[in-house]
Chains A and B, each alone.
Chain A
Amino acid sequence: MEKIWTRFGDGSPVELSADELKRDLEEGTREAAERGNIPALSKEELQHLFDIFSSPHRFIGVEPGYEVVLSYDGTPIKMKRAQVNVDRLQCLQIYEKLMGADTLEMGATDYSFKPIKPVVTYEQPLLEQILAVTTAPVFYGAMPNLGLYSQPDGPFPNPSELLPQGKIEEAQRSYEAAVEAAVRDIVYVSDAMYTSGADAIILDTVGAAGDADYLAGLKATEILKEKYPEICIELGMAGEFVLGMHGDLFYDDDRLAGMYPHEQVKMAEKAGVTIFGPVCNTNTNESTPWNLSRAITFMKACCEAANIPVHVNMGMGVGAMTVHDHPPLDVASRASKAMVEICRLDGL
């Protein structure tokens, strides 16, 4: 067999022999299985991945019948970043009418609940306008982003400064205070946007600041579900592993630090999350076959544990997508197809 052309996790090209491809696929799944204490991919699944990567086609897609629902995060920011000068209303019309979007998502440029809170009364009428001129479901999304609650950006002492000084308890108290403040902001903004008619709320990049960040997302979900039992909340994670920045935070009886996607989804279900978005980070030093095999192993275990729909995160740097602003179509389409088909996903 000729060399198989693929890419590293940063997008740079690489040619692999058939044996090298097989080895990368096997090592990727073994790495995930050992870390997560979950089953590795079967021989048949690895063969399916091998066939996908050895396909000579530039772009490939799922077999008919496997199509899934797409949800988005930070949609209008993508237009703004490319300096396409449309307002958010037109942006969502473009996604709906020109880009085959199954759902739409409105988010602010500073995609965090804290800075949105003081301007939420400007967000609400725009959402109401958007809802009047679109047909697809409209989500409103933002991040808990606990980093904004520590000094100098926020009111609480900075745990990143306290921890190196050995002030563990002070750092933990700061995280706990930040959780309470973040929950209030998430609930305030989400309540307002739901009252204005949003079809769903997205808590995105949850856990970016570690276990306290994840706890804030779970607690806010619980409060919102209690007030609005019918509300749809999609909770998307920041990484495959919940960092124990606090280290001693629990949701009910479960310690959050160290949880992998198949454990994270159970906490999300308990809190009342409707759709869960797990993440597996891309390693730029490894090939896309290695990354994809590893990511699918984590995501498959998550899907098998889930009783709620799972929309796997497949943006830049996650889900074996390259760590580059412009994902190459060859590996992006292979990752999309393989993830959906092997995990039997509900969405991306």
Chain B
Amino acid sequence: MGVGDPFGMAITHAIASGMGGMRTAGDLVARMQIARGMKIGEAKNYVADRLGVSVPDLTDPIIMREVREDLNLGLLHPHAGSPKCMEAKFNIARLLDIDINCVQRFKEKVSIYHKF
């Protein structure tokens, strides 16, 4: 994006043409561009397929709230005990079948890969 006050620039683009971030599946589609270099259409189809929803559902906050809750992918308003942040990223990596850099490093640091 670029320079400009957040209301005029970041929020304007988010409302006019953005995926919706964690309100919907914006972060998940972004992960496929990052991890696999997918173009937008391929990334949306991939995420929709892995989530078991249609492509239009990906930008619907009502549907995606339920999907994210059911699949433990992190919520905008998390409940007590629901997976958050790093916990949610473990689930996102597994569901999308991708490596997430910080998740891999978390596993190394907490000795998940080591046998005691």
For residue B83, which residue of chain A has the nearest CB? Answer: A135
Give the residues from 35 to 68 in chain B that come closer than 8 angstroms, CB to CB, to chain A.
35, 37-40, 43, 55-56, 59
Chain B positions within 8 Å of A61 at CB level: 15-17
Task: Provide the main secondary structure of the chain A interface.
Answer: loop
By the criterion CB–CB under 8 Å, are A327 and B29 in contact? no
Cα of A230 to Cα of B29 in the assembled complex, Å: 17
B20, B34, B39, B105: the one within 8 Å of A100 (CB): B20
Residues in A neighbouring B19, C-beta threshold 8 A: 67-70, 102
- Does A46 count as interface, using CB distance less than 8 angstroms? no
* A137→B27 contact, CB < 8 A: yes
Q: Closest Cβ of chain A: how far from B95's Cβ, in Å? A: 13
- Whether the pair B33, A194 counts as a contact (CB closer than 8 A) is no
Q: Does the CB pair B22–A135 fall under 8 Å?
A: yes
Given contacts A100-B15, A100-B26, A136-B21, contact A326 B4 (CB under 8 A): yes
Contact residue among B10, B17, B33 (Cβ-Cβ distance under 8 Å from A309)? B33
Give the Cβ gap from B7 to chain A, nearest Cβ, in Å: 8
A332 touches B12 (CB 8 A): yes
> What residues on B are CB-neighbors of A328 within 8 Å?
8
Complex: A308 Cα to B43 Cα, angstroms: 12
Given A64-B59, A67-B20, verify A72-B85 contact (CB < 8 Å).
Answer: no
Q: Is the CB of B8 within 8 A of A103?
A: no
CA distance A313 to B8 in the complex (A): 15
Mark each residue of chain A from 303 to 330: 1 if its CB lies under 8 Å from any CB of chain B, else 0: 0000011000111111101001111110
In the docked arrangement, what's the CA distance between A24 and B43, Å? Answer: 36
A197 touches B18 (CB 8 A): no
Contact B1 A314 (CB under 8 A): yes
A167 to chain B, nearest CB (A): 35
- Residues of chain A within 8 A (CB-CB) of B17 are 61-62, 66-68, 336-337, 339-340, 348
> Is A309's CB under 8 angstroms from B40's CB?
yes
Binding site for B on A (CB under 8 A): 59-62, 64-75, 78-79, 81-82, 95-97, 99-103, 128, 131-138, 194, 196-200, 230, 232, 274-275, 308-309, 313-319, 321, 324-329, 332-333, 336-337, 339-340, 344-348
Q: List 10 A-B pairs, minimum CB-CB distance, nearest first.
A: A315-B2, A197-B102, A102-B26, A336-B16, A136-B27, A327-B8, A100-B14, A135-B74, A61-B16, A316-B3
